[in-house]
Amino acid sequence: MSEKALFVGLDVGGTTMKAAVVDETGHHWPSVSANTESFKGQDVGLETMCETIRRAVKAADKTMADIAGIGVATPGTMDIAAGLILDPPNLKPWRNVPVRQHIQNVFKIPIAFQNDANAAAYGEYWVGAGREVKSMVLFTLGTGVGGGIIIDDKVLEGAHSHGGEIGHMKIEMTNPRLCGCGRRGCLETYASATSVTKRARESLTAHPHSKLAAIAAIREEDLTAKAVFDAANDGDELAKKIVDDSAYYLALGSMNMMHIINPHAIVYAGGMTHAGDAFLDRIRHYIAELALPVPASKTLIRYAMLGSDAGFIGSAACAKYMVQGKL
């Protein structure tokens, strides 16, 4: 038997799910993963979740009797307090899935349930980029812009499970871009990886001799956010402008969080962070220009450290907090 309390963290994504045993210090055993295959329906999905939890325990060479609690994170929409997935765009055709209750019935130990971006934020806060601070905002930069807010060891879930939906703060009125959510002017539509690609495509007509135009001319699908960042690192002026604009938009969203939440640290996660330190420095540059002097000078501005492990580590952290009453 282990001296430290053990938890299982499970992070369910639209494509795959990932789980591992995590001890109360945040150390984790090898993770296991499975295809989510939401199209097979929610009953199959719930069984895959349980089986992935069992496999994670086995991969750690433990038994279920060693596990003090399980944390499960899923994409929204959801009712966190009720333990329900409601109508998730990334897990179709699931609807009103009683995740927490089902897993509780199977394993009969405490089950914590959380939004996936919130869980990732909690993982980074616990043992990642925010490990030495008491409040943190995470921006997850991918197809969209998600986020999680942690204040004094607590996830800001919100009254209706919408806390930390920071990709959908509106930052433009005059000429607002259309967002995937149907609204206009959301941060997501400026600062996501999808937006980098979109802004690159929009600029090609005006810059027919740019490196980006050359890439798109061969195969349009190759003009990805990564290609834009690579071209910027190679010195292409148009790509540099698009990357710089992205840094500005993220700085603007970060400044707003500094003036609303005023966290100790702001952390960026997701594919776009592969752009490296030059991109982070441009974000910092614009934050210094935009924000009020005290938060501008004192807020830690960092990349996430846990990669795609943040979700299951944060899920385990939710379980630990529930079982032990502390992080």
Q: Which residue shows structure tokens 């989510």?
A: 36
Find, among 133, 235, 269, 249, the residue nearest to 198 by Cα. 249
Q: Which of 4, 27, 134, 274 binds a copy of itself (CB under 8 A)?
A: 134
Q: Where are the beta strands (DSSP E) in 13-163?
A: 16-23, 32-35, 67-74, 78-79, 84-85, 111-115, 135-141, 145-151, 154-155
Residue 262 near a copy of itself by CB under 8 A: yes
Give me the least distance between CB of 323 and a copy of itself, in Å please. Answer: 20
Interacting span for a copy of itself (CB under 8 A) from 41-49, 65-73, 153-161, 207-215: 153-161
Interacting span for a copy of itself (CB under 8 A) from 21-29, 111-119, 149-157, 208-216: 149-157
The rounded distance, in Å, linking the Cα atoms of 193 and 183 is 18
What distance separates the 2 farthest-apart alpha carbons in the chain? Answer: 66
Binding mask 233-252 for a copy of itself (x = CB under 8 A): -------------------x
Residue type, 99: V
Surface-to-core class of residue 69, CB atoms within 10 Å of its CB (0-12 exposed, 13-18 middle, 19+ buried) = buried
- Token pair in block for residue 318: 């939710």
- Token pair in block for residue 45: 């999905």
**Residue 178 or 294: which CB sits closer to a copy of itself?**
294
Residue 264 near a copy of itself by CB under 8 A: yes
Interacting span for a copy of itself (CB under 8 A) from 66-74, 192-200, 289-297, 319-327: 289-297
Q: Which of 54, 162, 198, 201 binds a copy of itself (CB under 8 A)?
A: 162
- For the beta sheet containing 154-155, the strands, ordered from the edge strand earlier in sequence to the opposite edge, are 154-155, 145-151, 135-141, 265-269, 300-303
**Residue 22 or 85: which CB sits closer to a copy of itself?**
85
Residue 266 near a copy of itself by CB under 8 A: no
**Residue 29 or 139: which CB sits closer to a copy of itself?**
139
Identify the DSSP state of 130. Answer: T
Q: Which of 25, 51, 292, 324 binds a copy of itself (CB under 8 A)?
A: 292
Find, among 208, 215, 206, 207, the residue nearest to 234 by Cα. 215
Residue 82 near a copy of itself by CB under 8 A: no
Residue 116 near a copy of itself by CB under 8 A: no
139: which strand partners?
147, 268
Q: Which residues bind a copy of itself (CB under 8 A)?
A: 77, 133-135, 149, 151-152, 154, 156-166, 168-175, 181, 183, 252, 255-264, 290, 292, 294-295, 298-299
